[in-house]
């Protein structure tokens, strides 16, 4: 998500890569040859080959696309009968060892991050919840009388710290960060009414008559009655901004 470093994972990922490299290269088995191309290249490959637990995406797939994933996949094991040279044997041993160290480090890192807040105990928004989205606090409100929150939105799903939501009136779907969401307390009818006010939309009760030239949209007028009791003569372009309700 744009402007949310917690969502794209960049802020912490580079630090974790350095920690990962430091753990691997200081292992007792490769302290003097960590910069060797057969070792360092494999270290970089292993880091980019694993699925990132925060984004759920394999870095190699994010760079080259999933269609080419088969070309960036090394075998888990190699039969000794297939290894014909000393160089390939050394490469194979380094790969096995680097993978083992990498797996152990990542497992320890995940356990440390989740020990205080295991996933099953985290409080998450559920599909069907109604939420309000806080306007960007770094910018002034559109007007002094504007609400600091927009919505309500209906929750579709929550993934990590990002929540996929649909605006109840406009219907647009967007990803919102959990830190700027709060639960809307009320039923769907209440949420819909608030969303109408937020989006400055109106529900048409009935169109009584029209006049003008149907072949020219700019000449069409409609006498429209809205659910709030107002009845006005509007251009077609104005009606297109209203919400037609099946009432």
pLDDT in tens, 92-133: 676 677 777 777 777 777 777 667 666 666 678 999 999 999
Pick from 155, 153, 182: nearest CA to 169: 153
* Secondary structure (3-state) at 145: coil
Number of neighbours of residue 69 by Cβ within 10 angstroms: 13
Rg (C-alpha) for the chain, rounded Å, is: 28
DSSP lists the bridge partners of residue 232 as 224
The pLDDT of residue 35 is: 64
The verdict on whether omega for the bond into residue 152 sits within 30 degrees of 0, i.e. cis, is yes
* Secondary structure (3-state) at 166: strand
The list of the chain residues with pLDDT below 70 reads 1-14, 16-18, 20-40, 42, 53-54, 68-92, 94-95, 113-114, 116-122, 237-247
The pLDDT of residue 143 is: 79
The pLDDT of residue 245 is: 43
**176-to-2, 96, 135, 187, 205 alpha-carbon distances in Å:** 10, 41, 11, 21, 33
The CATH architecture that domain 130-199 belongs to is Roll (2.30)
CA distance 76 to 95: 9
Neighbouring C-alpha atoms within 13 Å toward the C-beta of 130:
18
E strand segments, the chain: 130-134, 149-159, 162-167, 173-177, 181-183, 203-211, 221-226, 231-235, 243-244
CA distance 161 to 120: 15
The pLDDT of residue 157 is: 93
pTM of the model: 0.49
The pLDDT of residue 139 is: 87
């Amino acid at each position: 998500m744009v402007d949310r470093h917690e969502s794209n994972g960049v802020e912490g990922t580079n630090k974790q890569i350095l920690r990962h490299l430091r753990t691997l290269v200081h292992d007792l088995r490769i302290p003097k040859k960590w910069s060797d191309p057969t070792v360092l290249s494999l270290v970089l490959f292993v880091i980019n080959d694993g699925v990132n637990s925060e984004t759920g995406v394999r870095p190699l797939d994010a760079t080259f696309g999933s269609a080419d994933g088969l070309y960036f996949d090394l075998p888990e094991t190699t039969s000794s009968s297939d290894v014909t040279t000393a160089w390939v044997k050394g490469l194979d041993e380094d790969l096995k060892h680097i993978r083992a160290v990498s797996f152990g480090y990542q497992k320890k890192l995940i356990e440390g991050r989740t020990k205080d807040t295991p996933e099953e105990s985290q409080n998450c928004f559920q599909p069907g919840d109604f939420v309000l989205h806080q306007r960007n606090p770094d910018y002034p409100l559109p007007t002094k009388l504007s609400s600091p929150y927009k919505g309500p939105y209906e929750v579709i799903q929550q993934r990590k710290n990002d929540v996929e939501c649909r605006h109840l009136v406009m219907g647009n779907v967007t990803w919102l960060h959990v830190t700027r969401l709060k639960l809307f307390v009320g039923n769907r009818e209440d949420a819909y009414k608030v969303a109408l006010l937020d989006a400055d939309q109106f529900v048409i009760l009935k169109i009584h008559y029209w006049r003008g030239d149907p072949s020219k949209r700019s000449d069409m007028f409609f006498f429209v009655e809205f659910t709030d009791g107002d009845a006005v003569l509007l251009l077609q372009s104005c009606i297109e901004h209203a919400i037609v309700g099946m009432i």
